[in-house]
Amino acid sequence: MLLIALILLPLLLAVAAFITPSERTRPWMVPVGAVVELALVVLLLRQPGDPAAFGGWVVLDKLGRIMLPLVCILFTACAFYVPAYLRLRPERPNRVFTAMLLTFLSMMVLITISHHMGLMWVAIEACTLATAPLLYFNHNRASIEATWKYLLIGGVGIALALLGSFFLAYASLASGLHASLLIEDLVRDAPLLSLPWLHTAFIMLFVGYGTKMGLAPMHTWKPDAYGEAPGVVGALLAGGLTTGAFMSILRYYQVCAAAGEGEFAREIMVVIGLLSMAVAGVFMVGQRDYKRMLAYSSVEHMGILMLGMGIGGLAAFGALLHVINNALTKGALFIAAANIHRAFGSKTTDGVSGALRRVPISAGIFVAGFFAITGSPPFGPFLSEFTILRGAVEAGRYGVAAAFLALLFVVFVGMGTTVLAVVQGKTPADMPSTGFHDSVGTVGPPLILLAAVLVLGLWLPSELETALRAAALMVETGK
């Protein structure tokens, strides 16, 4: 019952937002929806076992118990930024924007709890379509171009993922089994599945959902989309949608692992993971557009997630922890970047300088977020990246560990140069002021996200650690 309410409630609110006539009250429906959704999630998490609905198509399992609250917490923080942001943009109608944000929430939640590969695919597709109008919010040439690339490249990725899902279903048909796309059935029958179909399916799904995650070399839409999207949309894409796509890949990995073909999947993950980090590193060095820089940072961290899962064992646990850290830090960074963008009217280092003087809190969050995301103690990502590194060494993958460290260093230097250029120095007198100042509405949400990242770096609650270990075990063994 609760599971169904979780999906329906934001959808109904989206309709309500769409028919609400007032441009001023409508944005507040987003935080209201987010808080109610979060309350439902808390209620749901208190139910023991794996609550299920729709004949097992929708299940909250061990992996969902981590991803569902994460997505909702990130969305809630972003939701409280929305009214403040839309008040700064009174010239743009917000009817479609608010309705699509709530639809996005519903579909994100559905991704984390769907246990049927077809349903999960529909949810990801719906998320993609719902975010297109969000990207296009500014209605200018650059945002058209970004939306076009996002739809076309994302559309091909989604199409490949569907073909992969069909191949997976055919893998059971080809071995004379009853074809099903329910995860329970697939994991149970995994050892009997036809291997050529299973391998082809995994590759297609990996490329397909990897495109949505933004792994190199399928990442080309990402800098454009994140660069042109409103900051809060960037936060939701980089922290939410990528997390959902990662989770989809884990579902298929789970089937592969249960079939005894985990090694095959892990090798692909390690190679693509390192490649993504390397590509991101190359494009971050000398990057002058700080929103595009964040997009490449997202490519890098998707690579780290894949690398961790690919190494396996302790590193897989680290990767799941890193999903949380990455999502929360990206949320803070994108919103802080949006504030700086608002304050200077430019998103390159040519037009922004001395942000610490003009918007001290936003710029402070930006710098702290930079240290957090590049893995500096005492923030959460340090802990998760260090765990992945330890996992690599424990597994005897010294070469991989060395490459991981080297790439982290490149990214740190590249990103640091851009961040310092933005926040340090004096603002030249001829740099136009937009009249934007830090306010509770614009710095509150990123501060809370940053505080959460800091707490996770200092203290990992034992319940969370147990839950993460259980989820990692489930993904790696299918149990």
What DSSP designation does 192 have? G
Taking CB under 8 A as the rule, does residue 352 contact other proteins? no
Does 148 sit near other proteins (CB under 8 A)?
yes
Distance in Å, CB of 180 to other proteins, minimum = 7
Map the footprint of other proteins across residues 278-307, applying CB under 8 A: 283
Per CB under 8 A, the list member of 72, 101, 107, 151 interacting with other proteins is 151
| Residue in the structure block whose two tokens are 């702290």 | 368
Q: Which is nearer to other proteins, 40 or 174 (CB)?
A: 174
Among 16, 50, 52, 118, binds other proteins (CB under 8 A): 118
Nearer to other proteins, 296 or 379 (CB): 296
Interaction of residue 96 with other proteins, rule CB under 8 A: no
Q: Does 132 bind other proteins (CB under 8 A)?
A: yes
Question: Quick check: 185 binds other proteins (CB under 8 A)?
Answer: no
Q: Which residues pair with 348 in a beta bridge?
A: 289
Phi, psi of 432 (to 5 degrees): -65, 140
Q: Which is nearer to other proteins, 139 or 479 (CB)?
A: 139
Give one word for 359, left, alpha or beta, with left for phi > 0 and alpha for psi -120 to 50. Answer: beta
CA distances from 154 to 127, 331, 473 (A): 11, 22, 31
The one-letter code for the residue type at 387 is T
Phi and psi (nearest 5°) for 10? -65, -30
CB environment 44-61: b (16+ within 10 A), e (fewer): bbeeeeebbbeeebbbbb
Q: Does 194 bind other proteins (CB under 8 A)?
A: yes
Contact 87, 151 (CB under 8 A): no
97 lies in the binding site for other proteins (CB under 8 A)? no
Site for other proteins (CB under 8 A): which residue of 149, 222, 301, 330? Answer: 149
Closer residue to other proteins, CB minimum distance, 129 or 460: 129
Place of tokens 């495109």: 211
* Other CB atoms within 10 Å distance of the CB of residue 172: 22
Q: Which is nearer to other proteins, 228 or 385 (CB)?
A: 228
Is the Cβ of residue 164 or residue 457 nearer to other proteins in the bound state?
164
- Least distance in Å: CB of 226 to other proteins? 11
Residue 101 structure tokens: 């944000």
Smallest separation (angstroms) from other proteins to the CB of 34 = 25
Exactly one of 84, 101, 119, 316 binds other proteins (CB under 8 A); which one?
119
Q: Which is nearer to other proteins, 113 or 447 (CB)?
A: 113
Tell me how many residues contact other proteins (CB under 8 A).
47
The 3-class secondary structure across 287-298, one letter per residue, is: CCEHHHHHHHHH
DSSP collapsed to 3 states, 268-333: HHHHHHHHHHHHHHHHHCCCCEHHHHHHHHHHHHHHHHHHHHHHCCHHHHHHHHHHHHHHHHHHHH
Q: Kindly report the number of other CB atoms within 10 A of residue 96's CB atom.
A: 15
Query: How far out from the chain centre does Cα 385 lie?
Result: 17
Percentage helix, strand, coil for the chain under 3-state DSSP, each rounded to 5: 80, 0, 20
Establish if 271 lies at the interface with other proteins (CB under 8 A): no
- Which DSSP symbol is given to 114? B
Q: Mask of contacts with other proteins, 28-67, x by CB under 8 A?
A: ----------------------------------------
State which of positions 209-268 bind other proteins (CB under 8 A).
223-224, 227-228
166 near other proteins (CB under 8 A): yes
Nearest-approach distance from CB 152 to other proteins, in angstroms: 6
In the complex, least distance from residue 271 CB atom to other proteins, rounded to whole angstroms: 22
Two tokens at 243? 């997390």
CA atoms of 467 and 217, how far apart (whole Å) = 32
Contact between 351 and other proteins (CB under 8 A)?
no
Which residues of the shown chain bind other proteins in the complex (CB under 8 A)?
118-119, 121-122, 125, 129, 132, 136, 139, 141-142, 144-149, 151-152, 155-156, 158-159, 162-163, 165-167, 169-170, 173-176, 178-181, 194, 196-197, 200, 223-224, 227-228, 283
